[in-house]
Every structure is written in structure tokens, then in C-alpha cells.
Amino acid sequence: MENSSVNPLSSSSDLNPKTPSRTNQLIPGFNSYHPSPSRTIYSDRFIPSRSSSNFALFDLPLPPQSSSSEDSTNAYTALLRSALFGTDCGSVVPPVTPDKSSGLNARNLQICRPNCNIFRYKTETRQSLQSLSPFGFDDQLPGFSPSPVKSNRKVPRSPFKVLDAPALQDDFYLNLVDWSSHNVLAVGLGSCVYLWHASSSKVVKLCDLGIDDSVSSVGWAQRGTHLAVGTSNGKVQLWDSSRCKRIRTMEGHRLRVGALAWSSSMLSSGSRDKSILQRDIRAQEDFVSKLSGHKSEVCGLKWSYDNRELASGGNDNRLFVWNNHSTQPVLKYCEHTAAVKAIAWSPHLHGLLASGGGTADRCIRFWNTTTNTHLSCMDTGSQVCNLVWSKNVNELVSTHGYSQNQIIVWRYPTMSKIATLTGHTYRVLYLAISPDGQTIVTGAGDETLRFWNVFPSPKSKNTETEIGASSFGRTQIR
């Protein structure tokens, strides 16, 4: 053993010049020999010290205990052996040099028990690091307290709540679900918008656009109770949800408004007419600027967390990045080979942007908008419908359509799968995350909304999800 306190090259009984060598003591006829005091005696052969060798594995007899240093060495050896081979192998005792006359050979040497092999399979190979620590046994070393070992997080494979959402459209280019900072879920169903209060499961009908119009997008303001509603007639309505009152109606688009994104008091709307309109809700004008660049419908819009960059995705397979000072995109990414609806900015790293492509693409790509570089690409095997980043940990979740309709939780940057969730029978076209960052809600053409606990709570808080216990089960949203 490398940790033995005895150096085999400096044993005092072997090389002490005042002590006769063991060679002379073991040969008959030399017992009456007395060396001269002025003469140094050297042994004619080397006898190593085997005090650190683990011959206890061979069931050899015990040597006499002689010193406190050997006791401490034996205690450490016993503790280390228990940590490595388990307590079922018995205690370890200091070894002795085997006697040649004992008749032991390689064929009758046995380890203490058959289940104490050095190389193990199955459960033994999956022991935690704490179980392998020599200081992991409190009853042997009371002064030490092992540090807890972080286990892999388990993501429930089933939704904890399902809401029936009749008339939830099966349209890839719409965005009909959003979750507010006040824990209220807005859902567009046909021509109506419904509000589901997560803390109480109370459902409120906010508005009805009538038989000549329908809801194509919803988007909550970052703070407050204002909800923007995009319509199939190209209008954007602004509602005060606390009073269920419409504040104003803004025009400017010629076709349906399928994407909305807030940046403080600025509201961006993307339309099937290929344009993006910037609206300052404090101004009297319907919009203050128009962003042109996409060659097809704008179906994805997301502002960065610092409100300096706007990312847009379109049915032209393009991903653009805009700033506050230009009506032309400052960055253009053309690597996707299908429509780009799924867009998510990282809350952990400035300028990190994720985007997902449609059925002909199936890839999630990562971009550094600060350096204008393409970082990586992951082929998911299915149409990427939505992306959202966890604000509590460096993970993200994606929802998918053709052909597997799955939900995948990823660990970034390795892009290893933490969980794959299934349950929807149609494309998972809609996705929103709770204000506490722990729960996601997904919507699909199967006319259901499903709630999943996928992310851990913030490290600074050990709180449960804010969704009330009364919300568990399956209910109807209207």
C-alpha cells in the first residue's frame, strides 16, 4: 500500500549497523558470534518489509500488535478496505510474510468471500461517490461529516394536470398560449380568449372577437396585467385583464398577426404580410416603425432579456436579429431549411440564441449574436415547434410535431437529453413557462393543455410551484 507509514527501504531491523543481520540469526552456528563494535555489519541479502501488503485477503495469521503507529496504519487500512470492498469482507488485519512451509500456493489462495471480488458488476459499479469515500462511515470516524452527493434529477414522465381546450387550432404559425408574470395563463380558442388563474384554477372569458374574426396570437406584457391579442384580420388589441376591458385597437398589418413580443412599453407584431411593426403603446400612432426583410410569414418573435435585440423567424427559413436603431436586420442566419418558429434567448449568457427548424429541418441551432457565430447544431428527429430556456438552471425544453409529437428537456451545452415526455396525440404547437420557472404548459391540436414539472426551483429558494393544489386533475378551460 502506498500510504503505509513504513518505508520498505529503511526498516530499522534490516539495516541498523549495531544489530546483527537476520541472515546470521537464522543460520545455525552463528548464534555465538559477536561482531566487533568498530566494524559495520552489512547483510548479504535484502529482506523487504511487507507491513503494507494486504495479505489478509489470503487468510494468513495475525502478527503481534507492537506499536501505536502500526495501530493507526491498521485502522486506516481497515477503513479504506471497507470503503473499497464493502463491510461484508470483514476487518483487515496487518499481514505477515507467508511461511514457505505452510504449503500455500497460487491454486489455494482465496479472497475472503466470493462476493468481494475487486471487479464488480451491476449495483456495485453504480455506487455514489459518498459510498466510496474512506470518511463516509460516521460510526468509525465520528469527527468527519460527508458532503452530500447530488443525485440525478428525476423529471416526471406524465403531466400533473390536463385542461381540455376545445377549438385550440392545429396551426404551426400561430402562438395561442402565454403565461404572465402574475401567474395567469392566456389561451386563444377560436374567436375567444380565456384566462386561467393558476393559483385558483379560476377561468375567465376575456373577450370574443365575433364570428368574422379569430385569435391568432396572445402575448403578456412583461410587467402588469396588459395582454396583447393578435387577430386573423391583421389587428392587435390591447386588453387590461384585471378589468376585462379593451384599452385600444392597433392596425397596420394587412394579414393575420401570428407573433407578438414585448419589450417594456414596446410591442412587436409579426404578420403573414411578411412585416414586423414596432408599436409604442404610449404613443398615439398605431406603430412607430416597420421592419422589413422576411420573404414570407413571420411566425416567431422574441426580445432578448436586455431588450436590445429582437430575433425573428419566418416561413422563409430565415432567422434575423434586429436592434432598436435600424429597420433592417443586423444579423441574418440562413442555415435552417424549414420555417423558423422556435426562438429562445438564454437568460444565463448574453447573446446566446437558440432557434429550431420545421419538418424539413428538425434541428436546434445555437448562435452567438455578440460575435456573429454559429455555435452548434442538434438534429432532434422531429419538427421543432417551440423552445424555452429555464431561468433556474442551464437547461432548455423543446416541443415537437411531425412525427413524434414529443417534449424534450435538454442540458446545455452538452445537449444531453434529461427527459423525453409524450402524451399529446397531435403536434405540440404551443408552449409557455410559469413565472417561477418550474412548470411548462404545452398545447396541441388534440385540444388539450398539459402541465409538466420539468425544471427545479431557483437555488436561492426552496419553494414549491405556485400552481394551487386544487388545479390537479383534468378540467375544461371554458
What pLDDT digit, counting tens, does each position of 317-354 carry? Answer: 999 999 988 899 999 999 999 999 999 999 999 999 99
Which is nearest to 441 in space by CA: 206, 172, 231, 160?
A: 160
Q: What's the average model confidence in pLDDT over 211-240? A: 96
Q: What's the average model confidence in pLDDT over 230-239? A: 98
Reported as a single tens digit per residue, the pLDDT across 35-56 is 555 555 555 666 666 655 565 5
- The alpha carbon dihedral of 226, 229, 230, 235 has a sign of negative
Lowest mean per-residue pLDDT among 173-182, 308-317, 420-429, 459-468: 459-468
Q: Which residues, at least 6 apart from 414, have a Cβ–Cβ distance to it below 8 Å? A: none
- Quote the cell numbers at residue 464: 414549491
Which pLDDT score is estimated for 76? 80
Q: The whole model's pTM is what?
A: 0.68
Which pLDDT score is estimated for 284? 93
Of residues 26 and 377, the one with the higher pLDDT is 377
- Quote the cell numbers at residue 256: 393575420
Reported as a single tens digit per residue, the pLDDT across 368-387 is 999 999 999 999 999 999 99
- The whole-chain average pLDDT of the chain stands at 79
Which pLDDT score is estimated for 458? 83
The percentage of the chain sitting over the pLDDT mark of 90, rounded to a whole number, equals 62
Of residues 476 and 172, the one with the higher pLDDT is 172
CA 451/CA 434 separation, integer angstroms: 10
Which pLDDT score is estimated for 5? 42
147, 186 in Cβ contact below 8 A? Answer: no
Q: Could you give the 3-state DSSP secondary structure of residue 287?
A: coil
Which pLDDT score is estimated for 352? 98
pLDDT tier for residue 426 given thresholds of 50, 70 and 90: very high
